[in-house]
Amino acid sequence: MSDMFSPIRIKQVEIKNRIVLPPMVCLHWSDDSGEATARHVAHYEAIARGGCGLIIIEACSVSESARLLDPQLGIWADAQIEGLRQITEACHRHGAKVLIQLCHALAVNTKALRTQSFVLLSVRFLFF
Ligand SMILES: Cc1cc2nc3c(=O)[nH]c(=O)nc-3n(C[C@H](O)[C@H](O)[C@H](O)COP(=O)(O)O)c2cc1C
């Protein structure tokens, strides 16, 4: 238990404790643009403020055509940089380190499958 609050080094990155936020998509907080919003920034900052050492930003699609769902966060366009930068800076202000989960869901992004959330949940780890 005492280890939980001690720092850990992963390669060159020093993480202040062993508390990690796993990636959890906030679907419908974004829109078709895939850009992060003020709500995302406030959400991740609140977790960092609470003391989390490593925050893994939710699955971000690397391609517009390979999203799990249209309102998923994206990392395929320059316009998406600003929101992700704001999330990162907000977390850094509280001493948290940030990772991002890259996601390519081409095999499940047909309209028919995307409307069935149970399909997404059952296959997601195959594509992350
Ligand atoms: C609302 C929600 C969104 C999630 N989004 C992602 C995601 O984007 N990527 C991922 O790999 N796992 C995702 N997960 C799975 C969580 O990361 C996982 O539940 C968490 O690591 C807890 O682990 P457990 O399932 O072993 O309890 C999500 C889970 C929930 C509840």
* β-strands 20-21, 54-61 pairing: parallel
Nearest CA owner, ligand 1 atom 6: 24
User: Hey, what are 73's tokens?
Assistant: 């966060």
Tens digit of each residue's pLDDT (9 = 90 or more) over 27-73: 889 999 999 999 999 999 999 999 999 999 999 998 898 888 888 99
DSSP H or E run through 8: strand 8-10
DSSP, res 76: S
Nearest CA owner, ligand 1 atom 15: 24
User: Hey, what are 4's tokens?
Assistant: 């939980």
- 101 pocket-lining for ligand 1 (C-beta < 6 Å): yes
- 126 by DSSP, 3-state: which? helix
- H and E: helices and strands count for the chain: 4, 5
The reply to whether the predicted model has a pTM over 0.75 is yes
Distance 93 CA to ligand 1 centre (A): 25
- 41 pocket-lining for ligand 1 (C-beta < 6 Å): no
Model pLDDT, residue 122: 31
- Calculate what percentage of the chain has a pLDDT beyond 90: 61
Domain boundaries along the sequence of the chain: 2-127
Query: What DSSP line would sit under 46-67, residue for residue?
Result: HHHHTT-SEEEEEEEESSGGG-
Model pLDDT, residue 1: 67
CATH class of 2-127: alpha beta
Region 99-103: mean pLDDT is 89
Tens digit of each residue's pLDDT (9 = 90 or more) over 117-127: 433 433 333 22
